[in-house]
């Protein structure tokens, strides 16, 4: 769908959307070539395909260099296309097992393993709920415990 040059432009834009995170050692979205993910999805989605083509065309016409300022312009001038792009970028980036793992999630399918969440002890729950129990009932009982029709 896109030429190599066009893919490079798209990845440059994605680098701006999700930049590299040095603190967590996470690469930027373009560096991870999330453009390939987006283009693959666009091949099955005519609206997305049109939006991506429109963005690349705009970038080719307007930008010598993809910068945050350019991306802001893109966002202002092509808002619905930009929303498509940002949505697919976030999906592509955060669905990667390597990214999930670095963010503390299960890298792979989350069943059957799940996560270990410590069960509160009875003592802890008792202590936490004690102030609530001390106050007593807080519900209204308009029929005083009687059924209708009884």
Partner 1 sequence: MEHEPVDVLIIGAGASGAAIAWSLLETRMRILCLEQGGHLTDAEYPSRKEDYELSRYAEFSCDPNVRGLKQDYPINSENSCITPVNWNGVGGSTINFLAHWPRMKPSDFRTKTLDDVGEDWPINYYNLEPFYEVNDLNIGVSGLPGNTAYPEYKISNPPIPIGILGQTLAKGFNNMGWHWWPSDVAILSRDQEGRQKCVNAGTCDLGCAAGAKGGTNFTYWPLLERAGVELRTNSRVREIQIDEATGLANGVLYHGADGQVHRQRAEIVIMACNGVGTPRLLLHSSSTLFPEGLANRSGLVGKNLMFHPLTGVAGVFKEEMKGHEGPMACSILSQEFYESDPSRGFSRGYGLHSGRSTTPMTFALGGYGVDNPIPWGNEHLEIMDNIYPYLAGLTIVTEDLPEEHNCVTLDADLKDSDGIPAPKINYTLGENTKAMIKHGEERAREVLLAAGAEKVLAKNDDNVWWRAGWHQMGTCRMGNDPSNSVVNSWGRSHDVKNLFIVDGSIFVTAGAVNPTSTIQALALYIGDQIKNNIQTLFD
Residues that bind partner 1 (CB under 8 A): 16-19, 21, 23-24, 68, 71, 83, 86-87, 89-91, 94-95, 97, 99-100, 103-106, 108-120, 124-125, 128-129, 131-133, 135-143, 145-150
Give min distance, CB of 70 to partner 1, in A.
12
**Smaller CB distance to partner 1: residue 65 or 147?**
147
Give min distance, CB of 82 to partner 1, in A.
9
Angle between helices 46-62 and 79-94 (to 10 degrees): 110
**Smaller CB distance to partner 1: residue 47 or 110?**
110
**Smaller CB distance to partner 1: residue 57 or 103?**
103
Give min distance, CB of 100 to partner 1, in A.
8
**Smaller CB distance to partner 1: residue 46 or 112?**
112
Q: In degrees rounded to 5, what are phi and psi of residue 16? A: -80, -35
Give min distance, CB of 35 to partner 1, in A.
15
Give min distance, CB of 89 to partner 1, in A.
8
**Smaller CB distance to partner 1: residue 6 or 15?**
15
- Which alpha helices (H) appear in the chain, and where do they start and end? 4-17, 34-42, 46-62, 68-77, 79-94, 97-102, 122-135
Distance separating alpha carbons of residues 150 and 131, to the nearest angstrom: 36
**Are 100 and 24 spatial neighbours (Cβ–Cβ below 8 Å)?**
no
54-83 as b/e, with b when 16 or more CB fall inside 10 Å?
bbbebbeeebeebeeebbeebeeebeebbe
């Amino acid at each position: 769908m896109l030429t190599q040059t066009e893919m490079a432009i798209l990845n440059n834009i994605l680098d701006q959307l999700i930049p590299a995170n040095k603190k967590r050692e996470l690469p930027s979205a373009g560096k991870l070539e999330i453009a390939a993910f987006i283009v693959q999805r666009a091949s099955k989605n005519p609206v997305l395909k049109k939006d991506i083509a429109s963005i690349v065309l705009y970038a080719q016409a307007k930008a010598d260099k993809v910068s945050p300022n350019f991306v802001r312009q893109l966002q202002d001038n092509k808002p619905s296309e930009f929303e498509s792009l940002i949505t697919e970028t976030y999906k592509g980036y955060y669905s990667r097992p390597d990214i999930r793992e670095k963010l503390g999630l299960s890298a792979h399918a989350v069943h059957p393993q799940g996560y270990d969440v410590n069960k509160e002890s009875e003592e802890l729950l008792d202590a936490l709920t004690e102030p609530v129990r001390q106050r007593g009932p807080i519900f209204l009982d308009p029929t005083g415990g009687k059924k209708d029709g009884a």
